[in-house]
Structure 1
Amino acid sequence: MPTLDESVTTIKQVNKSLEDVNKISLAASTTANNVGALTDLYGSFLGKPVIKLASAAFALKTTAQSFLSKKSKGKPVDTATGKEL
């Protein structure tokens, strides 16, 4: 009988430990989901406008360089490098 009592006690302790592990796993999963959602939120609010602004600035710069180089020299210019062709 003492062996059965000890095994029941051991199984109860193992079950309690497994419940604690399940709680920790659930908390980690929830945290990972929240971090993912926050990253998506920052990406959509900050990333896309910054990319659009950078591309507009680049287009404006290359257009201005092309216009100014054609006006002053009359020679064609590579807009990517700014050098004459």
Structure 2
Amino acid sequence: MNRKIIENCPDSIYTYGDTINTVHTMIKSDLGVSVLPDFVIGEDCEIASVPLSYTEEVVYGLACLRSEVRLEVKHWISTIKELLT
């Protein structure tokens, strides 16, 4: 989605927010718009939600350090993989 937006709106300026609170603050400060999953927009009466018909599949994964050695982390990852794959 990012690639498609950047390719089609090359003159726009892009900034990435690292938290939902940052993105909400930027929107409320009239610094632009954001592309977000609808469930994180919430019930804020100052922010309008515009539904998109974007049908690309979203792929999820787990992230940890490559050097992870803790057995509890490896067990948790194994458990989640069994539940979700």
TM bracket, shorter-chain basis: under 0.3
Question: Scaled by the length of structure 2, what TM-score is found?
Answer: 0.19
Q: Which has the larger radius of gyration?
A: 1
User: Higher helix proportion, which one?
Assistant: 1
